[in-house]
Structures are given as C-alpha cells and as structure tokens.
Amino acid sequence: MHRVALIKGDGIGPEVTEAAMEVIRAVTDRINFVEFEGGTEVFRRFGVPIKDEDLEEIRKMDAVLFGATTTPFDIPNYKSLIITLRRELGLYANLRIIPDLWGDREIYIVRENSEGLYSGEYEVDDGRIVDFRVITENGAERIAKFAIELAKERNLKEITFVHKANILMGDRFFRRIVLGLAEREGIGVRERLIDSFTIELVRNPWQHRIILSENLFGDILSDLASIHARSIGIIPSGNYGTEIALFEPIHGSAPDIAGKGIANPIGAILSGAMLLEYLGLNGRVIWDAVRDYVKEGNLTPDLGGNAMTVEVVNGIVSKIEEREIDPIEWDELWVDEIRINTIPTLFMK
C-alpha cells in the first residue's frame, strides 16, 4: 500500500481532488489517502498555513495530492500554503504538462523550483533593495538532470533550454552545466533567449517538447504555454524532491465557480495520473481514458460544453472500465512495463 497525503484546499479544490480520487480508485486500490488540513482557515487558527505536526506526518508519506487554495491579500503576514510545502518538502523540480488532448502531443515545462530569483534572499541597503538571483551548482545540476532524464524516458533527442546567458552571469553558469551534462548524456540542447522565445511559444509551441528554465522564467513560460491547452482547468503538474513529490492541477481555487459543480476536473485527474506514474502504478490508463473521453463526451463550460464535474468524472471512469482488465492486473502489468521503458527511476519512489 502507498500512503498519499491529501490536501483538498478550498474553492474548487475539494471538488476536483475528490474527482481525481474517484478516477484513481477506478485504477488501483493500492493507495491509502490520509487527509490533512491547510490554508487560510488553518492560518487564522494557528498562525501557519499548515501545522508543524502535520508537516512531520506528511514527510513520512510517499506523495501528496493537492487541490487548490486561495492566497488572500487581506491577512497580514499570510504565507502561501503551496510555497510553504514546496520549501519544507524540498520540491526542487516543477513539471507542468501542457497537453493537446485532441492530438497526441504534450509540452513539458521543467522549472527550477527552489532558487533563482525566488531564492528569498535579499538585501536592504540605504535607499535600495537587491533580490538575489541564486544559481548553485547543485541546483543547476539536479534540474538539468531532471529535464535530461525526462527526455530519455520520452524518447526525445533534445530539450529546449531558455535563458538570458548573454546578459546574466547566473545563466552563463547554468548554461555551462546544462550543456555539459546534456553532452555527456547524448541529449541535444536547443538554446533560446527568454525574450524572443515568448513569441515562439505563442506562435509555434508544439515543436518544443521539453522546455527547461530557471525559476522566474519558468514561472512565466509555464503560464504563457497554458493557453495552448484550451483551458487552465486541464493542466496537471508535479513538484518533485528527492524524498517525496506533490501533484496538483495548476489552476487556483476559482472562487467564481466554487460550489456550482461545474469545475473542470481534468487537471486534477491528470495530476492523479502523474502521481500514479511516480508510484510506479498505471497512470497511462488515465491519460488514455481522458483523451478518449474529451473527443466525444460532454465537456464542462470552460471547454464550451454544459457538463457538470460529476458527468466528466463518470465518463472518464467508464472509459477506464471499458478496458475490461482487472485493475490489479493493470498495476502489475504496468509496473513492469513502466520499469522497462516509460518512467525513469528518477520519477519513481
């Protein structure tokens, strides 16, 4: 049995995580979900977005499934729950998958998640503030390795590395590490400068399959690339550390549609698929079922349909069940197959 921490959050967070759990349960009964509270309410009561003892428990789990939480502006000193979790759990790699669900292609955005301009280090001096854009050898190496391993696992021959090495010293250092490692591993690197690359990412996105960048650049690029998925509601992500990984849809808590039963659950469901792959279970069957469903099924309003969340969940579960294979067998079959040729050990527990 795998133990997975569940943090549903608020807004549409609970609706979409419950949807993901239902789909996961249609694939495997080998996950034991343990629920934890976190976010604004916890902060109001305890002054932290998640309690220390809960964090300690979560550290002992195999993975985390996260919904969404609102980060309010009006609570003084409020610390974002997801940023706290990324830091406390050492989740250094952020992988966002921008899927073309109607075609058979994806863009993987690999963002360094722990340093760069979001290092949190700054200096206040007489009349000026300096934010430090920290790039360490260890930080650059481990994220470059992550992107290169992903390329190998997906049978891709190259990655796109986006930087501003013509101006920034940190990116010069980062670039040397990425190019050196890629050469040793036999993976090509297409280099792009961050400013002109934004235009390319709008006009001609699908020729770049794996995009690697520093924290702030990666943050902006991954938001920009989201437009190619047709709705923010369908994009999944994983945050990986050396001990644990956390999976979440990229959308926020969407207070405007919360409680109406119309949230698109696909981003959370595909995050569940990434979670299963990380645990060595059959996540691929969920990707296939979602792709089958969207081609013919009724979609939620963000994708132009009039389906409720529950209808989409039921439709995807039916697609899984149509495969008429015993779920236990799937796991075993896929664990073997994944070990051989799909998921590199880097992404697995």
Given the rule CB under 6 A, which residues bind ligand ATP? Answer: 11-12, 16, 68, 70, 232-233, 251-257, 263-264, 267, 300, 302
**Which residues lie closer than 8 Å to 188 by C-beta, 6 or more apart?**
157, 158, 159, 182
Q: Which is nearer to ligand ATP, 218 or 267 (CB)?
A: 267
Which among 195, 260, 326, 349 is annotated as catalytic? 195
10 is catalytic: no
Three-state DSSP state, 322: coil
Q: Which is nearer to ligand ATP, 282 or 300 (CB)?
A: 300
Among 26, 104, 67, 49, CA closest to 276 = 26
152 is catalytic: no
Least Å distance between CB 276 and ligand ATP?
20
Q: Which is nearer to ligand ATP, 116 or 267 (CB)?
A: 267
The amino acid occupying position 163 is: H
Least Å distance between CB 277 and ligand ATP?
21
Residue nearest to ligand ATP (CB): 252
Q: Which is nearer to ligand ATP, 47 or 255 (CB)?
A: 255
Least Å distance between CB 25 and ligand ATP?
20
Which of the 8 DSSP states describes residue 116?
A: B
Sign of CA dihedral 31, 240, 344, 320: positive
Q: Which is nearer to ligand ATP, 170 or 315 (CB)?
A: 315
223 is catalytic: yes
In this structure, are residues 210 and 108 in contact, taking their beta carbons and an 8 Å threshold?
yes
The amino acid occupying position 335 is: V
Least Å distance between CB 306 and ligand ATP?
13
Angle at 276 between CA 271 and CA 278, to 5 degrees: 95
Least Å distance between CB 93 and ligand ATP?
22
Output the six-digit token pair for 170: 């940190």
Least Å distance between CB 280 and ligand ATP?
28
Sheet strand arrangement including 210-213:
31-35, 2-9, 63-68, 245-249, 236-240, 93-100, 105-112, 210-213, 158-163, 188-193
**Which residues lie closer than 8 Å to 312 by C-beta, 6 or more apart?**
19, 264, 265, 266, 293, 297, 298, 299, 300
Q: Do the strands 128-131 and 122-125 form a parallel or antiparallel pair, or are they unpaired?
A: antiparallel
Q: Which is nearer to ligand ATP, 50 or 212 (CB)?
A: 50
Which among 51, 79, 145, 164 is annotated as catalytic? 164
Least Å distance between CB 12 and ligand ATP?
6
**From residue 82, how far is each of 64, 233, 294, 303 by CA, in Å?**
11, 18, 29, 27
Output the six-digit token pair for 86: 């990324």
CA–CA gap between residue 254 and residue 67 (Å, rounded): 11
CA–CA gap between residue 182 and residue 180 (Å, rounded): 6
Q: Which is nearer to ligand ATP, 189 or 235 (CB)?
A: 235
Which among 108, 118, 240, 293 is annotated as catalytic? 118
Which among 29, 52, 223, 326 is annotated as catalytic? 223
- Catalytic residue list: 118, 164, 195, 219, 223
